[in-house]
Structure 1
Amino acid sequence: MSVLPLVFTSGWASGINAYAVVLLLGIFGATGLTDEVPESLQRTDVLIAAGVLFLCEAVADKIPYVDSVWDTAHTVIRPIAGAVVAALLAGESGSLPELAAGAVGGSTALMSHLVKAGTRMAVNTSPEPFSNVALSVTEDLGVAGIITFAMFNPVAAAVIAGVLLVLGLVTVVLLASRIRRFLRRRAQRREEKRLAAGGRPSG
């Protein structure tokens, strides 16, 4: 059976929470739920590191503005994680070239990461913190649910991930004005901090 649906789904999920993907796949492999997870993801040190980083993300992801800083730092990390996980899955199954799998997983992770980061920027224009918490919890549950579902029905899970990715991209386009507002506010705050530190006005 082709591993492509699982590669695509894991890529989408990695763009949202790469540490949760590594942790879940590792646990599923270690417990014998699936034989498609490579041993490198089942190692104890990998599981511990993924667990600790997942907890860090679980906290940072729910704090307004901190979540956007975290997303910025993970613009490279999440796509790389998606590509690596995809390549490992392909190498384990032997049904898809690792380079092709890495390209699919990495590009899908990048797109879903941009959706997540853009949505958070839009949400951060709102003064209340509850929407951040609600969105973060929804994302965590979504990643856990779709990765678990992918273990039993990878094709259906990939279809769901594809639909969610398209809907996310459309949502970001619709929220473009709020995203620009967030970026202006962030630039203004940086300028204010620079001036407070004794710098000269820019421009």
Structure 2
Amino acid sequence: MEMLTGLGLASAAGLNAYIPLLALGLLDRFTSFVELPGGWAWLANEWTLIIVGVLAVVEIVADKVPVIDSINDTIQTFIRPTAGGIVFGAGTSAQTLPIENPADFFTSNAWIPVAIGVVVALVTHLTKSTTRAAATAVAAGTASPALSVGEDAVSVGLSAAAIFAPLIVILVLAVGIFLGWWITRSFTRRRKRAADATIE
């Protein structure tokens, strides 16, 4: 369960760095669904939540504007993996509804879950960027807002699943991978047809 929680949160961070950070922080601060250990309690600090909230709004808006979304993706290559490491580490060491004793999973070497989270978020981010690039090449950026809304929705869904029902993470990730593959394939085929028509 702990691994699925971390995997879901880190994958969500690879799509939007701030959604899973906000989810953990807000749930710890205002509910009893998440109890962050001392080392991660700063995520629930009011100033942290305000800063992350503002950055989330900026990210959500910027990711839906053609050209700016590409610049944002380049910047996020460093931010999303960092966020992935944080939420994987915090998520697997926090007490949540499905995880009552997180110490059973990581009793030492606290850097290991952070490193795993960085890798998971980076892979997710690179996959997202590849899909977005294929769509942009064919649709001249007009598909970016719709894709971005979908990515944000998946990030919210993964964060919720990771915290409340980790087994669902497998299903959400499977659907996300399929949709990413299908979108990339569709836009690649469309670009090839357009190129063939131009040659003729």
TM-score (norm 2): 0.77
1:168 positional shift: 5.9
In structure 2, the residue matched to 1:16 is 15
Higher relative contact order (CA 8 A, sep 6+): 2
In structure 2, the residue matched to 1:195 is none
Q: Is 2:2 the partner of 1:3?
A: yes
Of 90, 93, 110, the residue aligned with 2:92 is 90
Counterpart residue type for residue 51 of structure 1: G
Q: Structure 1: which 5+ residue stretches go unaligned?
A: 182-203
1:1-203 equivalences in 2 (<5 Å): 2-37=1-36, 38-92=40-94, 93-97=102-106, 98-125=110-137, 126-127=139-140, 129=142, 131-156=143-168, 158-164=169-175, 166-167=177-178, 170-171=181-182, 174=185
SS in 2 for 1:110: helix
1:33 positional shift: 4.3
Seen in structure 2, the aligned counterparts of structure 1 residues 31 and 89 have a Cα distance that, compared at 3 Å, is same
Moved more, 139-148 or 64-73: 139-148
In structure 1, the residue matched to 2:196 is none
CA–CA separation in structure 2 for the residues paired with 1:177 and 1:127: 13
Counterpart residue type for residue 22 of structure 1: L
CA–CA separation in structure 1 for the residues paired with 2:63 and 2:104: 36
1:162 positional shift: 3.4
CA–CA separation in structure 2 for the residues paired with 1:24 and 1:104: 20
1:100 positional shift: 2.6
Structure 1 segments (4+ residues) deviating >4 Å: 175-178
Counterpart residue type for residue 171 of structure 2: I
Q: Structure 2: which 5+ residue stretches go unaligned?
A: 95-101, 193-200
Please tell me whether the aligned partners of residues 135 and 184 of structure 2 are also in contact (alpha carbons under 8 angstroms).
no
